[in-house]
Amino acid sequence: MTRDETGWDLEVRPEKMRRWVVVAAVVVMAIHIFAALVLRGGGDTGVHLRVVDQIAILAIGVVLTGGVLLFTRPRLRAGADGVSVRNVVAERHIPWTDVRGLFFDQGAPWARLELPFDEYVPVVAIQARDGERAVDALERFRELESRYTGGAVSDNDDGGAVRRHDDGGAVRRNDDGGAVRGDDDGGAVRGDD
Protein backbone atom coordinates (compact mmCIF):
# COMPACT_ATOMS: atom_id res chain seq x y z
CA MET A 1 0.00 0.00 0.00
CA THR A 2 1.14 3.52 -0.66
CA ARG A 3 1.27 6.53 1.63
CA ASP A 4 -1.69 8.09 -0.21
CA GLU A 5 -3.92 5.11 0.63
CA THR A 6 -3.02 4.68 4.31
CA GLY A 7 -1.17 7.80 5.47
CA TRP A 8 1.84 5.61 6.40
CA ASP A 9 5.09 5.17 4.46
CA LEU A 10 5.32 1.47 5.35
CA GLU A 11 2.67 -1.08 6.27
CA VAL A 12 3.63 -4.71 6.81
CA ARG A 13 1.53 -7.75 7.70
CA PRO A 14 2.67 -11.37 8.00
CA GLU A 15 1.97 -13.27 4.79
CA LYS A 16 2.25 -16.97 5.57
CA MET A 17 0.80 -16.76 9.06
CA ARG A 18 -2.32 -15.02 7.75
CA ARG A 19 -2.91 -17.80 5.24
CA TRP A 20 -2.51 -20.54 7.84
CA VAL A 21 -4.73 -18.72 10.32
CA VAL A 22 -7.55 -18.35 7.78
CA VAL A 23 -7.29 -22.07 6.95
CA ALA A 24 -7.37 -22.93 10.67
CA ALA A 25 -10.42 -20.70 11.21
CA VAL A 26 -12.27 -22.41 8.35
CA VAL A 27 -11.41 -25.84 9.77
CA VAL A 28 -12.57 -24.89 13.29
CA MET A 29 -15.87 -23.54 11.97
CA ALA A 30 -16.39 -26.55 9.68
CA ILE A 31 -15.86 -28.97 12.59
CA HIS A 32 -18.44 -27.14 14.69
CA ILE A 33 -20.97 -27.01 11.85
CA PHE A 34 -20.45 -30.71 11.23
CA ALA A 35 -20.82 -31.49 14.95
CA ALA A 36 -23.99 -29.41 15.22
CA LEU A 37 -25.57 -31.21 12.25
CA VAL A 38 -24.48 -34.74 13.14
CA LEU A 39 -25.00 -34.77 16.88
CA ARG A 40 -28.64 -35.31 17.58
CA GLY A 41 -30.52 -36.76 20.47
CA GLY A 42 -32.00 -40.19 20.59
CA GLY A 43 -30.70 -43.64 20.02
CA ASP A 44 -29.41 -45.81 22.81
CA THR A 45 -26.60 -43.49 23.92
CA GLY A 46 -28.71 -41.73 26.50
CA VAL A 47 -27.73 -38.31 25.16
CA HIS A 48 -30.59 -35.98 24.28
CA LEU A 49 -29.36 -33.03 22.22
CA ARG A 50 -31.96 -30.50 21.21
CA VAL A 51 -31.93 -27.66 18.71
CA VAL A 52 -30.71 -25.33 21.47
CA ASP A 53 -27.67 -27.58 21.98
CA GLN A 54 -26.92 -27.55 18.26
CA ILE A 55 -27.13 -23.75 18.23
CA ALA A 56 -24.79 -23.64 21.24
CA ILE A 57 -22.26 -25.81 19.39
CA LEU A 58 -22.41 -23.38 16.46
CA ALA A 59 -22.02 -20.41 18.81
CA ILE A 60 -18.94 -22.00 20.38
CA GLY A 61 -17.56 -22.50 16.88
CA VAL A 62 -18.13 -18.83 16.04
CA VAL A 63 -16.36 -17.70 19.24
CA LEU A 64 -13.39 -20.02 18.67
CA THR A 65 -13.15 -18.98 15.02
CA GLY A 66 -13.12 -15.33 16.10
CA GLY A 67 -10.32 -16.09 18.55
CA VAL A 68 -8.29 -17.81 15.85
CA LEU A 69 -8.85 -14.89 13.45
CA LEU A 70 -7.28 -12.50 15.99
CA PHE A 71 -3.96 -13.84 14.72
CA THR A 72 -4.58 -12.08 11.38
CA ARG A 73 -4.31 -8.68 13.11
CA PRO A 74 -0.52 -8.19 13.49
CA ARG A 75 0.68 -5.13 11.59
CA LEU A 76 3.62 -2.72 11.55
CA ARG A 77 3.19 0.82 10.28
CA ALA A 78 5.88 3.46 9.98
CA GLY A 79 5.58 7.07 8.93
CA ALA A 80 6.54 10.60 9.83
CA ASP A 81 4.72 10.41 13.20
CA GLY A 82 6.56 7.29 14.33
CA VAL A 83 5.99 3.56 14.39
CA SER A 84 2.74 1.76 15.17
CA VAL A 85 2.96 -1.90 16.18
CA ARG A 86 -0.21 -3.98 16.47
CA ASN A 87 0.19 -7.55 17.59
CA VAL A 88 -2.69 -9.91 18.36
CA VAL A 89 -4.70 -7.66 20.67
CA ALA A 90 -3.14 -4.30 21.47
CA GLU A 91 -1.63 -1.57 19.32
CA ARG A 92 1.21 0.65 20.46
CA HIS A 93 2.42 3.87 18.85
CA ILE A 94 6.08 4.75 19.36
CA PRO A 95 7.60 8.08 18.30
CA TRP A 96 10.83 7.97 16.29
CA THR A 97 12.72 9.52 19.21
CA ASP A 98 12.18 6.29 21.17
CA VAL A 99 13.06 3.86 18.37
CA ARG A 100 16.54 2.30 18.60
CA GLY A 101 16.19 -0.13 15.69
CA LEU A 102 14.36 -3.14 14.32
CA PHE A 103 16.16 -6.48 14.68
CA PHE A 104 15.80 -10.24 14.51
CA ASP A 105 17.36 -12.10 17.42
CA GLN A 106 19.19 -15.31 16.55
CA GLY A 107 16.54 -17.95 15.81
CA ALA A 108 13.62 -15.66 16.65
CA PRO A 109 10.34 -16.22 14.78
CA TRP A 110 9.66 -12.49 14.44
CA ALA A 111 11.41 -9.14 14.65
CA ARG A 112 11.57 -6.86 17.65
CA LEU A 113 11.58 -3.10 17.90
CA GLU A 114 14.30 -1.92 20.26
CA LEU A 115 13.45 0.91 22.66
CA PRO A 116 15.46 2.84 25.27
CA PHE A 117 16.53 1.18 28.54
CA ASP A 118 16.75 -2.32 27.05
CA GLU A 119 13.02 -2.48 26.37
CA TYR A 120 11.58 -3.92 23.19
CA VAL A 121 8.28 -4.57 21.46
CA PRO A 122 7.79 -7.82 19.55
CA VAL A 123 6.80 -7.17 15.94
CA VAL A 124 4.77 -10.23 14.94
CA ALA A 125 4.04 -8.62 11.56
CA ILE A 126 7.61 -9.27 10.35
CA GLN A 127 8.21 -13.00 10.57
CA ALA A 128 11.29 -15.01 9.65
CA ARG A 129 9.16 -17.57 7.81
CA ASP A 130 8.18 -14.86 5.30
CA GLY A 131 11.78 -14.95 4.04
CA GLU A 132 12.62 -12.32 1.44
CA ARG A 133 9.50 -10.36 2.25
CA ALA A 134 10.72 -9.94 5.85
CA VAL A 135 14.16 -8.84 4.64
CA ASP A 136 12.54 -6.27 2.35
CA ALA A 137 10.41 -4.96 5.23
CA LEU A 138 13.49 -4.58 7.45
CA GLU A 139 15.36 -2.69 4.73
CA ARG A 140 12.42 -0.35 4.07
CA PHE A 141 11.99 0.23 7.81
CA ARG A 142 15.66 1.10 8.22
CA GLU A 143 15.44 3.55 5.32
CA LEU A 144 12.51 5.29 7.03
CA GLU A 145 14.31 5.20 10.37
CA SER A 146 17.30 6.89 8.81
CA ARG A 147 15.10 9.49 7.11
CA TYR A 148 13.00 10.41 10.15
CA THR A 149 15.73 10.26 12.79
CA GLY A 150 18.43 11.84 10.66
CA GLY A 151 20.73 8.92 11.47
CA ALA A 152 20.80 9.99 15.14
CA VAL A 153 19.70 6.63 16.50
CA SER A 154 22.38 4.38 17.93
CA ASP A 155 21.96 0.79 19.09
CA ASN A 156 22.87 1.47 22.73
CA ASP A 157 21.36 4.91 23.18
CA ASP A 158 19.33 5.17 26.35
CA GLY A 159 18.16 8.74 25.94
CA GLY A 160 21.18 10.05 27.82
CA ALA A 161 19.89 8.91 31.22
CA VAL A 162 22.62 6.35 31.82
CA ARG A 163 26.27 6.85 30.94
CA ARG A 164 28.64 3.95 30.71
CA HIS A 165 30.54 3.48 34.03
CA ASP A 166 29.05 6.62 35.55
CA ASP A 167 27.43 5.81 38.86
CA GLY A 168 27.91 9.21 40.48
CA GLY A 169 30.91 7.94 42.44
CA ALA A 170 28.85 5.53 44.54
CA VAL A 171 30.80 2.45 43.48
CA ARG A 172 34.48 2.26 42.64
CA ARG A 173 36.06 -0.76 41.07
CA ASN A 174 37.69 -3.01 43.75
CA ASP A 175 36.77 -0.62 46.53
CA ASP A 176 35.14 -2.66 49.28
CA GLY A 177 35.88 -0.28 52.14
CA GLY A 178 38.99 -2.21 53.12
CA ALA A 179 37.15 -5.38 54.12
CA VAL A 180 39.00 -7.66 51.70
CA ARG A 181 42.42 -7.04 50.21
CA GLY A 182 43.98 -9.15 47.53
CA ASP A 183 44.22 -12.75 48.70
CA ASP A 184 43.60 -11.83 52.31
CA ASP A 185 40.60 -13.83 53.52
CA GLY A 186 41.12 -13.19 57.21
CA GLY A 187 42.64 -16.60 57.75
CA ALA A 188 39.48 -18.48 56.87
CA VAL A 189 41.10 -20.43 54.06
CA ARG A 190 44.71 -21.57 54.01
CA GLY A 191 46.12 -23.08 50.89
CA ASP A 192 49.11 -24.68 52.66
CA ASP A 193 47.23 -26.71 55.28
| C-alpha span between 25 and 125 (Å, rounded) | 19
Q: Report how many helices (DSSP H) and strands (DSSP E) the chain contains, helices first.
A: 4, 7
| pLDDT score at 49 | 80
Whether the predicted model's global pTM rises above the 0.75 cut: no
| pLDDT score at 105 | 86
Classified as helix, coil or strand, 56 is helix
| C-alpha span between 12 and 76 (Å, rounded) | 5
Q: Which residues make beta-bridge pairs with 171? A: none
Q: Which residues make beta-bridge pairs with 5? A: none
Looking at residue 89, the DSSP 8-state letter turns out to be S
53-96 residue pLDDT tens = 999 999 999 999 999 999 999 999 999 889 999 999 999 999 99
